[in-house]
Amino acid sequence: MTDPAAAVGSARHPPGDLAIWVFILAELLAFGVFFTVYAITRMKNVALFDEMQLTLDRRAGAVNTILLILGSWCVARSVAAIQLDQKVKSARWLLLGIAAGGGFLVVKLFEYSAKLGAGINLATNTFYMFYLSLTFFHFMHVILGMVILLAVWLKARKGGYSAADHHGLETGASYWHMVDLVWIILFPLVYVMR
């Protein structure tokens, strides 16, 4: 397998459209502020945050982390396949990535359903205000990522990308990986660290 990164050296532009990378940086900034405010608020309410964290379904959080990692891996394999001009394979990897994202949404909906069923909402306490708003903010990004991947897949299944031209696929993939990257911090921060 060839590795363009190693072959070309350090003069490459990031994969996909430059505009998506500006958007990704803006999104990372927004999540960074959210994480910072969560950590500082927790610093002032340690007992409450530690107590409430125990009421979360940590197993569901871990399963969702694995699903997003799998989704990201599938999409990376899709890009790798199209670089070798394997169009059908690339489209199938994309579809698997979308399915992993769908799995994430289903697990998260079960979590939300359990919390709402127990009478928990944004007004319950500071911890749940952060938990619900932060995870829902991310949830919406997963949906947006899936919509982008779906559009890319629709083109990919018709053979719309090739080894020579797969800019759009890389653009969608970059956004999807950002969604995964953010959850890599969100999971330990909200579900595990105490």
Partner 1 sequence: MNTRLLDLVLVMLVIGTGFTWWLGETGHAGPAAVLTILAIAGVKGVLIIREFMALRGVKFFWPAMVIGWLLLVLAIIMAAYWRGL
Report residue 116 as tokens: 């709402």
8 near partner 1, judged by CB under 8 A: yes
Minimum CB distance to partner 1 smaller for 43 or for 123: 43
Among 48, 69, 99, 105, indicate the residue that binds partner 1 (CB under 8 A).
69
23 near partner 1, judged by CB under 8 A: no
Neighbours of 74 (CB within 10 A): 22
Which residues are CB-contacts of 67 (< 8 A; sequence separation ≥ 6)? 100, 101, 103, 104, 107
**Which of 108, 130, 112 has its CA nearest to residue 64?**
108
Among 36, 121, 133, 162, indicate the residue that binds partner 1 (CB under 8 A).
36
Supply the minimum distance, in Å, between the C-beta of residue 166 and partner 1. 11
Supply the minimum distance, in Å, between the C-beta of residue 101 and partner 1. 14
Task: Report CA-CA distances (Å) from 102 to 72, 79, 88.
Answer: 13, 20, 21
Minimum CB distance to partner 1 smaller for 5 or for 154: 5
21 near partner 1, judged by CB under 8 A: yes
Name the region of 85 (left: φ>0; alpha: ψ -120 to 50; beta: rest).
Answer: left
Quote the longest CA-to-CA distance of the chain: 56
Rounded Cα gap, residues 112 and 32, in angstroms: 23
Minimum CB distance to partner 1 smaller for 13 or for 123: 13
Rounded Cα gap, residues 14 and 149, in angstroms: 18
Minimum CB distance to partner 1 smaller for 41 or for 124: 41
Residues 147-166 interacting with partner 1 (rule: CB under 8 A): none
Residue found under tokens 């125990």: 54
Binding site for partner 1 (CB under 8 A): 1-6, 8-15, 21, 24-25, 28-29, 32, 35-36, 39-40, 42-44, 46, 50, 58-59, 61-62, 65-66, 69-70, 72-73, 75-77, 79-80, 83, 170, 174, 177-178, 180-181, 184-185, 187-189, 191-194
